[in-house]
Structure 1
């Protein structure tokens, strides 16, 4: 009988089990970047965490030609972010790539009756 498996009853309803917490604080580092010449997408993100301290930054090329850079840090008591921009916003004149529509239809002038 000593080799028989031991079965435990499931917890009774209404008494949830306490959550399990890791014994070691989290620690990681990651980053990624995207550069797509076809669509013009260009952005990236990097972050690292060691226990309660998390810090990182992300960048994105904006449609107006500037680069937005967000740098952040959280020491466990709230997120602090700093947003900066590189470059100058450009707003070029819009030039349609299609031809102008034809003039609206106007009937030809009526011929004067000869007397």
Structure 2
């Protein structure tokens, strides 16, 4: 389940669970809807259990569409970023509070 929270000009979308090509639809819709109405989109990834390359592709697409920050990525997601070089692309913050406030 995903949740979207609005904080001024920042939309926070919380990713919960596992994401692959089969399960991306709802979070894709939430992220792009947030990008249409907010200057900054923060993905709260703290409760994300698994993400594959299709999720990474979604984040790259979103990065091209808006100012994206990724908060509190779990080890598996951070490792995926490192292995693909996406850690050089994304604005990753250690906590949600830091991602929202910056």
TM-score range, shorter chain: under 0.3
* Greater relative contact order structure (CA < 8 Å, 6+ sep): 2
TM-score w.r.t. structure 2 length? 0.25
TM-score w.r.t. structure 1 length? 0.23
Task: Give the number of the structure whose residues are more often strand, by fraction.
Answer: 1
Q: Which has the larger radius of gyration?
A: 1
